[in-house]
Amino acid sequence: MSLEQPAWFADVDAWWVPAVGEEVAARVRPLGFDAELRLHVECDSRAWTIQVRLLAHHLAKRLDRCLPQHQVTGVIVRPYAVPVPLVLEEHWPELVGEDLGAQILPLQFVRQGRELSTLALSAEARDRFCPLVPEVLEAARRLLGPGCALTEIPVPALYPVTVAVTASEDWDDPHIIDSVLFDTWHDVTQVYGPEHSLCFEHTAHSQADRIVAEWTAHHAGPCDDVGLTAMPPGAGAETLRAREEQLIARKPDLCLAFLADPAHPTHVVDSARAASIPVRVITPAGRTRG
């Protein structure tokens, strides 16, 4: 795909850094605009790819405000990384310990192989892993042998929790949605911990989707706080069915289904159940069931 870079594009300090902040700018590089005026960016780790994708909708709005001379309709995130060698994946539990081996996942090498990006399934596992990093780093370098460029294992990113939201076309009760979203947010905090980000994903189609987006925007902090976000469909999902399939393809942790009649589930509900994704059905009476 051909990307355009306007004359002002190269001066990232003048527009990119003020729009996203120094920390994000150090990890995420703008590449150019496509024909649909979407900004393509490249991340230096899978962890940052996850975080920026969660924030893409908000970043696009911020960039659109910061760039009055150029409309920004969206942000497309491209990861930049080298896969973790099979030998490191196989021996990872030995390097970090059997208990942490299933809770701290090696994701990819970034920065020309000098940095190993990891993902923690819990804050407790992350905190246990950090003191072990020097030992793990040395063992990994020995395992990979001469020519290994690895010099750093940063603090692991925390697993982001995603919840898909679907609803009947005629669902019109915002109060039940408000209550369920609050309950879900509370449950995620209790189960995963307050440091994990939560993203409500939807198809941007129904009135319920609009309520979810407005609720999240109202209760979230500044858009550079990853704690709570709502994400509409990404690129390449022009039809409702494509958006629904994209929603499930992302493998959310839970599907919230606001159904006027549980006997007539949405396509998202059927797809989620087929993919073994837990589904919570909410009826107009406020009753829920799995």
Confirm whether pTM is higher than 0.85.
no
Query: What was the pLDDT predicted at 157?
Result: 84
| Confidence category of residue 223, pLDDT binned at 50, 70, 90 | very low
Q: How far apart (Å, rounded) are the C-alpha atoms in residues 133 and 123?
A: 15
pLDDT tens track for 74-131:
888 876 667 889 999 999 999 999 999 999 999 888 777 888 989 899 899 999 999 9
* Residue 48 CB contacts under 8 Å (≥ 6 apart), including other chains: 27, 28, 157
Q: How far apart (Å, rounded) are the C-alpha atoms in residues 212 and 214?
A: 6
* Residue 9 CB contacts under 8 Å (≥ 6 apart), including other chains: 30, 32
pLDDT tens track for 128-162:
999 999 999 999 999 999 989 999 999 998 888 88
| Confidence category of residue 289, pLDDT binned at 50, 70, 90 | low
Asked whether 173 and 284 are in contact (CB, 8 A), the reply is: yes
pLDDT tens track for 37-73:
889 888 877 677 777 887 888 888 888 888 877 888 8
Average pLDDT of the segment spanning 260-275: 92
Residue 235 has pLDDT above 50, yes or no: no
Q: What is the dihedral of CA 17, 20, 24, 27, to 10 degrees?
A: -60
Structure tokens at 91: 């021996």
